């Protein structure tokens, strides 16, 4: 059979043109969505009296047969049929004869492909939300197990103030919560039906777009036919949300790489999530977080790629827009690949509480608290800061930590010191002193975990409603 659009042409397409313009190599990933959309479309054509019901039945049966064959790998897609839409239509016609040619009534590939993309991304956004939720769950569980684990908190990657390790983990729960909320919000703009826009202007057939939307469970239909076929904002938005998710994962990855180094020794990743070296027998490498960190680049690239494809594109459909697919598929695969590994990697990670505690004991991260102590005794904060700066310098010069100083030594720096300073300087006291909403005090982190669990439940409910 020749091209579905061959009528106007007097020559065969150059085979290099076929290969260059074809998208079947990658858009076959849309086969399920394409058939799902076609089934709704043809049902509507029957309901609106545009096609006789017996034709509709034949076409639906044919589509289901083609779907079954695709699932069984029985269909060989052809480059000369360009894309998944025409490959399916061609196979449908082969299956049921010329009546198959009636499927495309009142429809264009332009509104068809846009519909497929909406259906595809709608599913992926729910899937990814579920995976982020699983990761949050793993982090909350580790946080609960580490309510008594004190670790240095850093700024400038220099020890700053001691914090609960649980508090550190819960920061990531908040970050992934924003990611989940962004995905949920984007769902509203993904769940809009373009079909019925035709090539660009609508169609002369008396179709019912809302009936198609209802069958496919879209909340709305596009308001403007030109916009319906030209809009790829929902993909740009997805890629941008994906970029932020990868950025978050890359920050956590970097911390895992640092923490699992001998220098830190704060955590040990499970053997099942690490790899070895072909030459150095002692090595256990954190390849997974390293690769997640590295793969963040390709997701950013996909975002910039699509923004650039769309820049200055005139309305309505342009073939340039076929370039929206590979970056999107690649981003979905990259994100899913990372998230799938991250949750079990966090769950199985061993936290070395002793190493963390040793690190806290051997630092000056309680210095702010002595300054606050002096402020409590009436000294202005700036002066207190100066006094403690000198005290710390003295410690460094004498190879001591603040808790090693005798009362006489403390008194050298300020007469305001008294014995209660030794209690103030204990890491537990330092942590629990930060008893503000959102702070690292144990009570606050316990509450934060409870609030985290409420959010987890809310996401679960949303997932249940969007299956």
- Chain residues binding ligand ARG by CB under 6 A are 23, 27, 83, 109-110, 113, 317, 319, 321-322
CB of residue 333 vs ligand ARG: minimum separation in angstroms? 18
Long-range contacts of 347-350 (CB under 8 A, 24+ apart): 347/138, 347/141, 347/142, 348/269, 348/270, 348/272, 348/273, 349/142, 349/256, 349/267, 349/268, 349/269, 349/270, 350/267, 350/268, 350/269, 350/270
| Of 227 and 268, CB closest to ligand ARG | 227
Residues annotated as catalytic (active site), given as ranges: 156, 277
Instruction: Kindly report the three-state secondary structure assignment for every residue of 278-317.
Output: CCCCCCCECHHHHHHHHHHHHHHHHHHHHHHHHCCCCCCC
DSSP letter for 14, please. P
| Of 26 and 205, CB closest to ligand ARG | 26
How, if at all, do strands 192-193 and 220-221 pair? Answer: parallel
CB of residue 42 vs ligand ARG: minimum separation in angstroms? 19
| Of 27 and 237, CB closest to ligand ARG | 27
The DSSP-derived string for 25-61 is HHHGGGHHHHHHHHHHHHHHHHHTTSS-HHHHHHHHH
What distances in angstroms separate CA 28 from CA 66, 168, 198, 290, one per listed residue? 13, 43, 22, 31
| Of 104 and 159, CB closest to ligand ARG | 104
Do residues 306 and 234 touch, judged by C-beta distance below 8 A? no
CB of residue 327 vs ligand ARG: minimum separation in angstroms? 13
CB of residue 90 vs ligand ARG: minimum separation in angstroms? 14
CB of residue 315 vs ligand ARG: minimum separation in angstroms? 14
Residue 57 burial (CB count, 10 A): 14
CB of residue 88 vs ligand ARG: minimum separation in angstroms? 12
How many whole angstroms separate alpha carbon 320 and alpha carbon 34?
20
Q: Is 329 exposed, middle or buried (0-12, 13-18, 19+ CB in 10 A)?
A: middle
CB of residue 113 vs ligand ARG: minimum separation in angstroms? 4
| Of 200 and 375, CB closest to ligand ARG | 200
| Of 191 and 230, CB closest to ligand ARG | 230
Cα dihedral 29, 35, 41, 44 in deg (nearest 10): -150
| Of 234 and 462, CB closest to ligand ARG | 234
Do residues 148 and 445 touch, judged by C-beta distance below 8 A? no
């Amino acid at each position: 059979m020749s091209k579905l659009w061959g009528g106007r042409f007097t020559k065969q397409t150059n085979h290099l043109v076929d290969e260059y313009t074809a998208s079947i190599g990658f858009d076959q990933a849309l086969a399920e969505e394409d058939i799902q959309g076609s089934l709704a479309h043809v049902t509507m054509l029957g309901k609106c009296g545009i096609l006789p019901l017996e034709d509709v039945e034949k076409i639906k049966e044919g589509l289901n047969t083609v779907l079954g064959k695709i699932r069984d790998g029985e269909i060989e897609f052809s480059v000369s049929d360009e894309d998944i839409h025409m490959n399916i239509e061609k196979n449908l016609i082969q299956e049921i004869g010329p009546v198959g040619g009636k499927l495309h009534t009142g429809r264009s590939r332009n509104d068809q492909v846009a519909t497929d993309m909406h259906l595809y991304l709608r599913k992926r956004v729910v899937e990814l939300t579920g995976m982020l939720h699983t990761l949050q769950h793993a982090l909350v569980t580790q946080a609960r197990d580490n309510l008594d684990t004190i670790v240095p908190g850093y700024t400038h990657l220099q020890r700053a103030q001691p914090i609960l390790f649980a508090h550190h983990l819960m920061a990531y729960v908040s970050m992934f919560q924003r990611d989940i909320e962004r995905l949920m919000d984007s769902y509203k703009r993904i769940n809009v039906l373009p079909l019925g826009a035709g090539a660009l202007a609508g169609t002369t057939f008396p179709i019912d777009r809302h009936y198609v939307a209802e069958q496919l469970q879209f909340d709305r239909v596009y308001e403007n036919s030109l916009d319906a076929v030209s809009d790829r904002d929902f993909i740009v938005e997805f890629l941008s949300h994906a970029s932020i998710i990868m950025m978050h994962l890359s920050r956590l990855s970097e911390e895992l790489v640092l923490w699992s180094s001998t220098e830190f020794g704060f955590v040990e990743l499970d053997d099942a999530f690490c790899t070895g070296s072909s030459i150095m027998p002692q090595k256990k490498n954190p390849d997974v977080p390293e690769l997640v960190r590295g793969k963040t680049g390709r997701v950013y690239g996909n975002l910039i790629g699509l923004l650039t494809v769309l820049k200055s594109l005139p309305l309505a459909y342009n073939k340039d827009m076929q370039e929206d697919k590979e970056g999107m598929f690649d981003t979905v695969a990259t994100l899913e690949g990372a998230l799938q590994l991250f949750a079990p990697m966090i769950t199985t990670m061993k936290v070395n509480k002793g190493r963390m505690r040793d690190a806290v004991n051997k630092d000056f991260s309680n210095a702010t608290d002595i300054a606050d102590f002096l402020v409590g005794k009436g000294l202005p904060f700036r002066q207190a800061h100066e006094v403690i700066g000198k005290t710390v310098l003295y410690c460094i010069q004498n190879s001591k930590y603040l808790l090693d100083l005798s009362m006489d030594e403390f008194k050298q720096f300020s007469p305001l010191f008294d014995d209660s300073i030794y209690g103030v300087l204990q890491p537990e006291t330092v942590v629990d002193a930060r008893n503000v909403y959102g702070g690292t005090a144990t009570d606050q982190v316990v509450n934060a975990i409870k609030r985290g669990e409420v959010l987890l439940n809310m996401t679960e409910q949303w997932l249940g409603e969007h299956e």
